[in-house]
Amino acid sequence: MAAPILSGVRKLLKHVHFATIPRRHRHKKKWAATEPKFPAVRLALQNFDMTYSVQFGDLWPSIRVSLLSEQKYGALVNNFAAWDHVSAKLEELSARDFVNEAISHWELEPESGQSGAPSPASWACSPNLRCFTFARGDVSRFPPARLGSLGVMDYYLMDAASLLPVLALGLQPGDIVLDLCAAPGGKTLALLQTGCCNLAANDLSTSRIGRLQKVLHSYVPEEIRDGNQVRVTSWDGRKWGELEGDTYDRVLVDVPCTTDRHSLHEEENNIFQRSRKKERQMLPMLQVQLLAAGLLATKPGGHVVYSTCSLSHLQNEYVVQGTIELLANQYSIEVQVEDLTHFRRLFMDTFCFFPSCQVGELVIPNLMANFGPMYFCKMRRLT
């Protein structure tokens, strides 16, 4: 995929200012050190302070303190468990199902004079998803999930914003769906919860596939895991357009990224480790290749949702716009970005959205609603 747009991505990378260590602090130790002089989490914060203070301006201090604070979670109800009993238990905790609450509210709005609002049928969230959160400003925690009476776990704890790309995909009964970068498995599990798709779940990393398989084993009945509803593979996602082109109705491309919140809290598997600098700089290139492969794997008329858990516009809008240009120039394939304004309005009571994305939507962390970051953009392959 050595195309002009990829050289364009390379040029973009030259303008990314990755945090450097002041020369006066550079020295080699003469003995082995178990603790790095500059931990990856500190390098990540330096990098974010340099880049995001420019990208977000006055919003950055609020986002920064939220990223450094405890994350908020949602409880995705497992429909393969006794979901009605599970939902009742979560309601007793004073949590609310933000998905169905938002959809119910939207359906009632035309009666209160909002006749210009689109009907739910016209934008079609993926169905049958139930996810409970605590209200804005409520920092209560959900208890750990338990094994239910039907032999599977009751609910799955996740960043509730991670459900938005799955909801935006708009699954319909009978859809053939690809989750191109599926591990560790939260979004894959959510796709299966809809009960209306045949799913291919792929991830290149065999260790991450192991985590995905563990999630499926804990939450999905054996007859579904071993049947034809889900197929798990470990292939190079960049080649999917060649392997299964023009095949899928819906594709989720949840790409590897700088995982901003993780990078500020965990040394293990942190992409800001010195040894991973080249890998980090090449992320936008990889993301373009994966999104292009996802679009090539989609049938004409089908939909793709691209998502990251990064705030970086280099990994978000730039990747989307660059990939669309790539497919137009190299494959004569036209891709249209879908307007998600209605989607932002639908869930703005639960999440804090950045108001100025060029394309797609971005959930930004906020102390009152400390979810995200989560960027997602929905596209339709026209030709």
Tell me the pLDDT tens digit for each residue of 351-373.
Answer: 999 999 999 999 999 999 999 99
Task: Provide mean pLDDT across the span 142-148.
Answer: 95
Tell me the pLDDT tens digit for each residue of 199-232.
Answer: 999 999 888 999 999 999 999 999 998 888 899 9
CA distance 189 to 126: 13
Cα 176 to chain center, whole Å? 20
Contacts of 52 (CB under 8 A, 6+ apart): 60, 63, 64, 311, 312
278 marked as binding residue: no
**Before 373, cis peptide (omega within 30)?**
yes
pLDDT band of residue 182 (cuts 50, 70, 90) is very high
186 marked as binding residue: yes
254 marked as binding residue: yes
- Smallest Cα–Cα separation from 130: which of 185, 178, 180, 189? 189
Q: Is 257 among the residues known to form the active site? A: no
Return the percentage of the chain with pLDDT > 70, whole number: 86
Higher pLDDT, 362 or 31: 362
pLDDT band of residue 124 (cuts 50, 70, 90) is confident
Q: E strands of 235-338, at which residues? A: 248-254, 298-308, 335-337
* pLDDT above 60 for 305: yes
Higher pLDDT, 313 or 6: 313
CA distance 161 to 213: 22
Q: What pLDDT shows up at residue 112?
A: 45
Catalytic hit among 131, 309, 352, 357: 309
Cβ-in-10-Å burial (0-12, 13-18, 19+) of 330 comes to middle
Angstrom CA distances, 301 to 7, 45, 361, stand at 29, 41, 22
Q: What pLDDT shows up at residue 218?
A: 97
Q: Do 297 and 246 contact (CB within 8 A), yes or no?
A: yes
Placement of tokens 């889900």 in the chain: 230
Q: Do 76 and 87 contact (CB within 8 A), yes or no?
A: no
Contacts of 90 (CB under 8 A, 6+ apart): 75, 77, 97, 132, 142, 155
Q: What pLDDT shows up at residue 177?
A: 98
Angstrom CA distances, 205 to 115, 187, 330, stand at 48, 16, 29
CA distance 205 to 71: 26
Average pLDDT, the chain: 90
Task: Provide mean pLDDT across the span 28-55.
Answer: 81
CA distance 139 to 137: 6
Burial 103-123 (b: 16+ CB within 10 A, else e): beebeeeeeeeeeeeeeeeeb
184 marked as binding residue: yes
183 marked as binding residue: yes
Task: Provide mean pLDDT across the span 17-34.
Answer: 48
203 marked as binding residue: yes
Q: Do 319 and 291 contact (CB within 8 A), yes or no?
A: yes
Tell me the pLDDT tens digit for each residue of 147-173.
Answer: 998 999 999 999 999 999 999 999 999
